[in-house]
Amino acid sequence: MNQGLVLGGVAVLSAVAVAGWVRQPGGPAPSAVQTAVASQPATAGVVIAVGFAKCVESIADTVYGHLQSVERMDRIAVSMLLKGLLSVLAVSCAMWISHDVLTGVLALTLAWLAVLLAYDFPIAAKAAMYRAQPPQPWSGFTNPIRLGPRWSAAGVVQIGRLGLPLAIASLFLALANNVPRYFLEHWHGEEALGYFTALAHPTAAFSILLSAFGQAATPRMASFYRSNRREFRKVVLMLAAVPIIALTIAIPILVKIGPATLAWLYRGDYAQFFPVFLILLVAGATWSLASVLGYAATAAGKLAGQAPVSGFVLTATLVASAVVIRSGGLIGAALVTLVAAAITFVAYLVLLLWRGDWGRVAIQ
């Protein structure tokens, strides 16, 4: 619980800092973002409200961690379903009545808070009881354990020690995934970037699919890594088979249909970029394979090593983008995306297979 409160506090403080930064009258010349935010005084309030929403979300993520530890993914699914439905209803009503963005964000925050208090906390209490007494079967909502934050400097330091490498890795990998788009827009304009972004969007299906499987399998992988390495490898291979099978099915069908696929999905002018689309599909599957190894490395406790690995991936992507995209255009950007995904896969494979404790953090 204290993890969620710490992360939530960071989210709120960050939002307040951003709001103050964008409204700072002195200092260097404002950027486009600063100018856009400062033009509406209510925008600072929206930023702070989003920070509070993220605070609630961070605490909910802590609840999801408890549920993952006892493999109650169905409870997570119910929570997310309730949150989604209530969020749509609350924001729609708020915007219809007030026509105000701040009111909409506050309604969203209250919707998330309602789900957290009415559903997530009771479920977390039950998960805590089950975790404390593993021999006992799951028995519904009876005899829950009372939850509350436990503040300690050592706990906060441990959270930072565990989370900082993953935060850096997530930042670097997100940048690596988007760097080709920055170079493409710089050298070929917004129209090329628009085509590329639209063509890359269907590959998000790989990420959504692997995210669901990976989060569900991580607690079991962590247990197998400590007790049964053969089963650990088996789970990793099963997860890796998902994007491979999906790509094996999708590519022949798309090649058979041809460029008409893009004309049907988008417009006729997209058909000329069919080769770019195929490369991005392969890149998406490769990123998914790299994600599988990322989940495996996290389950194995190899957290510290993920920061330098992702830094290497980002550096390689920057170099490849600078060399290829200026002359290669959309094809070049797609190829750089594929190369970045392949480098990520190889780097995480090396981290995972590395013998010894390099990059490993003991998780208690």
* pLDDT tens column, 185-196: 999 999 999 999
CB 338 within 8 A of CB 288: no
Give the pLDDT band of residue 333 (cuts 50, 70, 90): very high
Residue 326 reports pLDDT greater than 90: yes
Of 311, 280, 305, which is closest to residue 176 (Cα–Cα)? 311
Q: What is the mean pLDDT of residues 172-182?
A: 93
In this structure, of 42-46, 141-145, 208-212, 297-301, the range with the lowest mean pLDDT score is: 141-145
Is the pLDDT score of 34 beyond 50? no
Q: What percentage of the chain has pLDDT greater than the value 90?
A: 40
Q: Say if residues 36 and 46 touch (Cβ distance below 8 Å).
A: no
Q: What pLDDT band is residue 37 in, cutting at 50, 70 and 90? A: very low
Q: Alpha carbon of 214 to those of 39, 48, 68, 303: distances in Å?
A: 42, 32, 11, 16
CA separation (Å) from 318 to 122, 180, 188, 322?
47, 8, 17, 6
pLDDT exceeds cutoff 60 at 7 = no
Select from 354, 51, 2 the least CA-distant residue to 150.
2
* Per-residue pLDDT reduced to its tens digit, 80-102: 889 989 999 999 999 999 888 88
